[in-house]
Each structure stands twice: as C-alpha cells, then as structure tokens.
Amino acid sequence: MRGVYSFLFILLIIIGLMGCSNSSSTGKTSQSNSSGNSQSGQSGGKLDIAYEAQPDTLDPTVTTSGATKDTARLMYESLLTLDENWTVAPQLAESYNVSDDGKVYTFKLRQGIKFHNGKEMTADDVVASMERWTTNSSLTKSILEGAEWKKVDDYTVELHLTKSSALVPFALADQNQLAAIMPKEVAEKAGPTGATEYVGTGPFKFVEWKTNQYIHFTKFEDYQPRSEQTSGLAGKKEALVNDIYWHFVPDESTRNAGLISGQYDIATGVSYDTVEQLENTPGTGVNIHTYGIQMLVFNKKQGLFSDVKARQAVNYALDKELVLRSSFGDERFYKLEPSLFRPEQTDWYSDAGKDVYNKKDLELAKKLLKEANYNGEEIVILTSRDYAYQYNAAVATQQLLEKIGIKAKLEVYDWGTLLERRGDPALWDIFFTGWDTSVIPHQYGFLDSKAQWPGWTNSPEIDKLLSEIQAAKTQDEAKELYSQLQQKMWEYLPIINIGTYSKVTGVSDKVKGFRDFIGPVLWNVSVEE
C-alpha cells in the first residue's frame, strides 16, 4: 500500500505541474479568420479598444475615412454586405434579384428589424437612406448615375438604373463608404457633413462621444441577427459584451503599454517592431491581417517616367521580395502577389501580369532606360518616416535603381506634407504608399484617367476596359475583362504593385473570437473577466 500511495502522490504532483504550465499565458499570434462565432468566453462585461485616430463623423455615408468605417459598422448595417470570400451577401435585405435587362434590382426587406430608437425599419427608411447615399458616395457617381430608388410596398424596394452593371451589388456592399440604413427622419435631416443623430440597426448602439477621449457603445437588446453562419461581415452577429469603449490613443507606445497593463483589451496599429514583445508578454498576443498592397507610384505627367519604357525599366530593376523584406522584415507580414485583389476574392482575382511582376532583369532594365533617353538627371523619391515601412521601401528602391544607373534622391517629409507635395507634378518622380483592398477595380483611383489621382494615369486602353467592366451583364464577364485590365496595367505601369502586406492588432488573451475583416470585427466577441 505504501508503494501505491507513493505512486498516487507523484502522479498528483505531475498533474499539478501540468495544470500550472497550461494556465500560464505565453502570448499568441493569429491570422485573421473571416468566419465563425465567438469562441468560449464569458458573455457580458465591457471591451476597451485603443485606436489610432478620432473620426470626424460617425455617419459613414459621407466619408471614406477608415476611422469612421471602423466605428460606424458597430451601429449601422446595409442592404448587402461581403462574406469571407468577398462575395456579396444579403444583410438587411432578405433577398434580392435583378431583371433580365439588368436595369432593375428588387430588394425584399427583412421584417421586424428595429432601429435603435425602437422604430421598425420599412421601405420608407431604406429609400430615404439610399437616395442620400447615392448622392454622397463617390463610388456611385458613375455606377449609379441617374439611378432612382422606389418603394413598392412596406417591405419591398426597387433600384432603377439608366444602364445595367454587374458592379451594383458590390457598390451596395462596399465598406469604404457604407450605404448605411437609418430612419427616414434622420436621413432627411442630415446635412452635407453627415447626420448628427446616430441611429442604426446594428448590434451596438451609440451612447456618448467624449471628444479626444472615447466613444461609448452599448449592446442593442432588440437586435435581430440573421440565422446564417457568420462569414466575413455576413451571417449571424451577436453583441456578447454589454459595452464597448472606443478610446482615441494616437501614440503607439501608449496603446502598447495600455494593452500590456490590462487598461485596453485590443490595441490597433501595432508596429512590426513590437510584435515580438507582445507575443512574448504573458497575457497578450497579436492578430495579423492582410491590409492591401504596397505600391510605388510614378509621376506620369512630366519627367522621366512620363515615358513608359522608363517605368518598365524600374519594374525590371526591382527585386520585389527584397523591397518587401526591407519594409516589413518578417515574411509573416508580406506576400509576393501581382494582383490588386486577394486570392480569396474569387469574383475578381487574377494572376495576369505574373510573367513580368518580379522578373529582375537588370540588363533589360538598362536597355529600356537607354531607349527612354535617360541622361543621368536626378529623380526625386518622396517618402515619410511617419510610415517606417514606406520609408524603408524607398531606401531599398533607391539602392536598386543605382544598379541600372539611375540617380535617385530621397526627400523625406511628414505624411501631411508629402500628401501636399504629391499634388504638384513638378516636385517629384516617385512616391510610395499603401492601398486598402477594394471590392471592384473602379475603387483603385490610380487606374482611372478621369480620377486624376496623383500620378496622373492617362491610358485609353485601361479606361475602355473599366467602362466595359462597368457595363458587363454578368460577373464572369466582368472578371474576364478585369484580367485583361490587370495585364494591361503591368504593361502601362501606372504604379508598381510591390506586393501584399499585413497590419497587426494587439489583443489580450482575455478576448475571445476577435478577427479583422476590412477593419476590427467586434460582434461575436467576448471578454473573460
């Protein structure tokens, strides 16, 4: 018996040690998952978020600001949204269909949906909201030009177009200037700078905005979730915490320190240099999520790069992986990718242009540069240390251009000054920037000659393809046309897509179910107290 007791005693010690090991927090890294509901975690309590910037408004119909998009999505919903494959899915619409000629979209509305003020959503609210959004949205100026919204009955709305386009559902589902549904009386009172009464149908409702401190949201008890499984921004949403405090913390070190101390549960905009620290700090981890593309922008209006051969020379001179590694360090934060869209965006993704994307042919680059009549003049690369990864990309590019004989000078400014200077074609030749993943080609302003975005694209072939995509009757037709456009982009080179890169959010181990999809997703998220 003495031997049995000794064995049991030793076994208890081992189990105890295993338990201690499992309870210690080691920090985690996760890639964003677009689907699934909250993991195990206590419902209730509050969620404190440290965010980089304060929005100008919480009305997403009048701005493309990321700070507005990320906060407003807690309160507002739209007729259509995007699932994890970036495919359009119904949200406040129960369903929708399109006429044979593609000019009339009919939306059946979900019944029993309540606004935060207790009023039921009907067709009158939808028509008033959509008329206002159609007027304000920069995206709709071409796609929905001359369109008219009509009420059929209390739960049916029609959109009448002057010309058909397969892009309409994507425009209505886009997050960068959300087609938010709000009560008719709120929409009609709203001025050009946005509504001042924030009333939506989402899982959280507005409580208070303390300028330069925080916005307080609370759980909407009468929220009616969809029944489908969560996918991207579509499907089931649940407010699992009672309150969300969205703190404005522009200083990155303060956000990180607050996360580590437990003051904040989530900290956005973590720098790549501090990822290891958060991973190795007990109680914290990081969420790595794809943001968009890093790109080199050419001044095509005047100077050396008004000649396409000079632009092609730069493309062949660049080692894209070297530039990405210089920018982001760890390969977890970047990916070589010739497409403007992500592979999961199955409605649009194409690898057209991969044959010239990262060819790295210095001799061909020198030949093209000679044909462009380059005579040794100095070119200016605008950059900013405000975004270290863009500055590092500019330094790497300067060194690579020297290998083909281009003299390049870095001019370093704060980001606000850079934005001003890039508007004058006499002041620069190249600058670096990032571009968030978009849902249709027309949102990439550097493609469209009419947009006159800095860089001044002027390609009749690309313009023609953009028009044909807009007029496409089916998504398959639009996708094939886009593939042609992307191939043309790699020939004309309005920009050079260096590759895809990710951003990082710091997350407490107490937070369960957090993910990022075109911004932080805070429904289906719980916090262990």
Which band of pLDDT confidence, cut at 50, 70 and 90, is reported for residue 33? low
Same domain, 162 and 295: no
Domain assignment present for residue 263? The answer is yes
Same domain, 340 and 477: yes
Residues forming a β-bridge with 285: 507
As to burial, measured by CB atoms within 10 angstroms (0-12 exposed, 13-18 middle, 19+ buried), residue 242 is: middle
Ramachandran area for residue 440 (φ above 0: left; ψ -120 to 50: alpha; else beta): beta
Last residue of a domain, one of 191, 216, 239: 191
Give yes or no for residue 117 having a pLDDT over 80: yes
**Does 343 or 42 have the greater pLDDT score?**
343
Same domain, 101 and 186: yes
Domain assignment present for residue 395? The answer is yes
Same domain, 267 and 228: yes
Give yes or no for residue 148 having a pLDDT over 50: yes
Domain assignment present for residue 253? The answer is yes
Same domain, 278 and 388: no
Domain assignment present for residue 517? The answer is yes
CATH number at residue 529: 3.40.190.10
CATH number at residue 92: 3.90.76.10
Q: What are phi and psi of 194, to 5 degrees?
A: 115, 160
Query: Residue 251 sits in which domain range?
Result: 29-52+203-283+509-529
H or E, element range at 430: strand 430-436
**E-only strand ranges, 220-345:** 243-248, 266-267, 284-298, 334-335
Domain assignment present for residue 464? The answer is yes
Distance CA 79, CA 95 (A): 9
Which band of pLDDT confidence, cut at 50, 70 and 90, is reported for residue 64? confident
Same domain, 62 and 44: no
What are 216-237's pLDDT values in tens digits?
999 999 999 999 999 999 999 9
Same domain, 453 and 411: yes
Same domain, 48 and 124: no
Which band of pLDDT confidence, cut at 50, 70 and 90, is reported for residue 20? very low
Last residue of a domain, one of 168, 191, 214: 191
What are 484-528's pLDDT values in tens digits?
999 999 999 999 999 999 999 999 999 999 999 999 999 999 999
Domain assignment present for residue 85? The answer is yes
Distance CA 129, CA 77 (A): 11
Which band of pLDDT confidence, cut at 50, 70 and 90, is reported for residue 6? very low
Distance CA 287, CA 3 (A): 50
- What pLDDT was estimated at residue 35? 57
Number of separate domains in the chain: 3
Same domain, 113 and 256: no
Same domain, 499 and 513: no
Last residue of a domain, one of 138, 161, 191: 191
Residue indicated by tokens 């592979």: 343
> Which of 440, 474, 435 lies closest to 345 in space, CA to CA?
440
Same domain, 242 and 370: no
Domain assignment present for residue 316? The answer is yes
Give yes or no for residue 324 having a pLDDT over 70: yes
Q: Which amino acid is at 328?
A: F
CATH number at residue 295: 3.10.105.10
Give yes or no for residue 13 having a pLDDT over 70: no
Domain assignment present for residue 382? The answer is yes
- What pLDDT was estimated at residue 137? 80
Same domain, 144 and 266: no
Rounded percentage of the chain residues whose pLDDT exceeds 90:
80
What are 152-193's pLDDT values in tens digits?
999 999 999 999 998 999 999 999 889 999 999 999 999 888
